[in-house]
Structure 1
Amino acid sequence: MTPPKLSFILLAITSAICMGTIGTLARFAALPAEHITFYRLFLGALCLLVYMLASSKRSQILHKPGKRTLINGAMLAGFMFFYIQAMNYTSMANAVMLIYLAPLVSAVFAHFIFKERLAFANVLIIAIALLGFAMMMQFSVANSGNKKEILGLFYGVLSLLTYSAFMLINRKPDKSTPYQSTLVQLVTGALCLLPLMLASRPEISANQALWLLAIGIIPGFIAILCAVKALRNLPAVTFGTLAYVEPVAVVCFAWFLFAETLNLLQLTGCTLIILAGIAQGVLMQRAGSKAGPGVTLTDKASSPSA
């Protein structure tokens, strides 16, 4: 098998780092989660539309989207909104590590919904990931001992569940191209959040508007475009492994910019979650290879960065 080109590996890493900037940019924007998520989706869709118009993809814009694509747009809005809400109440590290439990949680749901039996190795990996998150929490539901931390974890769990649903819906192949499904999901997600955004209309300063623009361009457009291009050329396990640059980036941003430090126990927990996620990706890739051809790009998009 031909090894993946360095340029596609760099695209996957760029996508992961850009995705990891959302927490930092959201804190600088200092606006409600519904506004941040709306502009991330809306401006991301606008940038993608301009890109498709300016490239050979313009013929793909007008099409009839499938029901699952529309539902996934709502799930996309949900997990992004709850993820930002979680970071408003708990640490960025806690929020991102909860999101990265989604591939493992979706495997458990698939065991019951799609009858995809979990092997002993899968169960062991899930147990390791849960141990890792318990270490992140320092074996306490809310290590800070206040309601704010518990609320943050609650929103984090909601982001985990909505992203798991997003992944499960994506299990079946879709007729639309990656650009088509991405555009529809971004627009659908923005429309889902529009009523919430209109219900609360805080005054947006020029400085905040610039942060919103950065949110729409960096984690909203550049991250997704790089992910789509990388997914076209990288094996699923390679892309899934590189996607774990995102939680590392989030922890680094939180450390350097907001002084959110982690102790040795929490760092060990982060490492266990990341290794468990990578191992789960390897097992899924092997299972897919044994099942034969027919894996689509949506099947590959099994990490939060996608």
Structure 2
Amino acid sequence: MDKKIGYLSAVLAALFMGSLGLFVKTVDVNALVLTAFRLGIPVVVLFFILVFKGVKPGLPSKATIASGVFLSLTIVFYIQSIKTTSMSLSVLLLYLGPQIAAVAGVFFLKERLSGFDILCLGLAMAGLVMTLEFRFSFNRLSSFVYGLLSGLSYGLLIVSNRAIRDRESLLSVSFFQFVFGFLTLIPFLVILKPSFDLSIRDLALVLAMSLVCGLFAITLMINAIGHLRAIEYGILSYLEIFFAVMFGFLFFKEDLNFYKIAGGLMIVASGILQTLKSQLTKGVADEYS
């Protein structure tokens, strides 16, 4: 029964996270404002959850603070990417993150980049080229900048998460990530002054987005991680790509051609292979430690 709960939670978490584009494309609201709601509301709710459970989180580590910063950047760039391109392409560019993390881990965590890692990286890059349909121009590539930046930020978020100490509770880490993610936005909100003047309809949709894609998705993710092995959740999390692509196709008639499907499968395959490899390596290390 515990496994079934874990699988259901993981699938629903991916479904809710994959639905972000539905809200982004439905409302005419600045990406910074959407991110502020996306991070701010979970901060308030998680605070009361911590109080209710009697959890007293200690001071956050540098890695936790860094992960909050990169979480904020990932969401801002991802939302802006969805606004300027399609949901399918945006989520595929976002999920270049695991391969970027493999490279970044060499520099920040002193990890070794194996031949298998290079193979996975090459597969992801080939998938990206396939997704771009082998057509390159400055205007075409410039339209994908936000998607690429979201993938870069996501990769650095993964690296930061790997550096977080195991003894820090997942609930406390999530709370501080949202806190420092929100704090990261404040200078941009002060300088750029985006409008928070929302219609009742847009406000309702933004609040729904914050709950569905933020609080509910994170709660389900935490529950799934508690019932599943890391390798199981890691693979199931890639369902977010499937849901985002399907939502874009069904609700916004986004084009799904051979190049996007083939390139997307290559990017997904590279990420799943990385997940399998990292967990198998960790299992061997734990066995001999």
Letter in 2 for 1:217: L
**Structure 1 portions without partners, runs of 5+:** 296-306
The answer for the alignment partner of 1:218 in structure 2 is 212
State the AA in 2 paired with 1:160.
G
Correspondence for 1:38:
36
Going from structure 1 to structure 2, the CA distance change for 1:105 and 1:29 (only over 3 Å counts) comes to same
For 1:39 and 1:163, locate their aligned partners in 2 and report how far apart those are by CA, in whole Å. 19
Residue pair 1:125, 1:279 contacting (<8 A) in 2 also: yes
Q: Which residue of 2 is the match for residue 96 of structure 1? A: 91
Q: How far is 1:294 from its partner?
A: 11
Q: Which residue of 2 aligns with 1:58?
A: 54
Aligned counterpart, 1:153: 144
Structure 1's 294 and 201: CA in aligned 2 closer, same or farther, altered over 3 A? farther
The 1-side partners of 2:35 and 2:288 are apart by: 33
CA contact (8 A) 1:99 1:160 kept: yes
Please tell me whether residue 181 in structure 1 is matched to residue 176 in structure 2: no
Shift of 1:102: 0.8
Answer yes or no: is the 8 Å Cα contact 2:64–2:164 preserved in 1: no
Following superposition, the deviation at residue 87 of structure 1 comes to 1.3
Output one character per residue of 1:160-198: Cα deviation in whole Å (capped at 9) or x when no partner: 111111111222242421111101111211122134335
Give 3-state SS (helix, strand or coil) of 1:5's partner. Answer: helix
Q: Could you say if the C-alpha distance between residues 294 and 113 of structure 1 is closer, same or farther in structure 2, counting changes exceeding 3 Å?
A: farther
Instruction: Indicate the residue corresponding to 1:193 in structure 2.
Output: 185
Q: How many residues align?
A: 286
Structure 1 residue identity aligned to 2:175? L
Counterparts of 2:223 and 2:62 in 1: how far apart (Å)? 24
Match of 1:204 in 2: 198
Q: 2:6 aligns with which of 8, 20, 30?
A: 8
Contact kept, 8 Å, 2:6 with 2:226, in 1: the verdict is no
Q: Is the 8 A contact 1:87 1:152 kept in 2?
A: no
- 1: CA distance, partners of 2:202 / 2:262: 36
The answer to whether the Cα contact below 8 Å between 1:4 and 1:233 also exists between their aligned partners in 2 is yes
CA contact (8 A) 1:70 1:184 kept: yes
1:279/1:9 CA distance change after superposition, 3 Å: same
Cα distance, 1:85–1:262 mapped onto 2, change above 3 Å: same
TM-score, length-scaled by structure 1: 0.87
- The alpha-carbon deviation at position 153 of structure 1 amounts to 1.1
Partner of 1:304: none
SS of the residue corresponding to residue 59 of structure 1 reads coil
- What percent identity do the matched residue pairs reach? 29
Does the 8 Å CA contact 1:73/1:188 hold for their aligned counterparts? yes
Unaligned runs of at least 5 residues, structure 2? none
Check conservation: 2:81, 2:146, Cα contact below 8 A. yes
Cα pair 1:47 1:217 within 8 Å, conserved: no
In structure 2, what residue type is equivalent to 1:11? S
1:25 maps to: 23
Alignment check: 8 A CA contact 1:85 1:152 kept: no
Which of the pair is proportionally richer in helix? 2
**Equivalent position SS for 2:144:** helix
User: Offset of 1:59 from its aligned partner?
Assistant: 2.4
- Whether the 8 Å CA contact 2:63–2:164 is kept in 1: the answer is no
RMSD (CA atoms): 2.1
SS in 2 for 1:171: helix
Alpha-carbon distance, 1:63 to partner = 3.2
**What TM-score does the superposition give when structure 2 sets the normalisation length?**
0.92
Q: Which amino acid aligns with 1:104?
A: Q
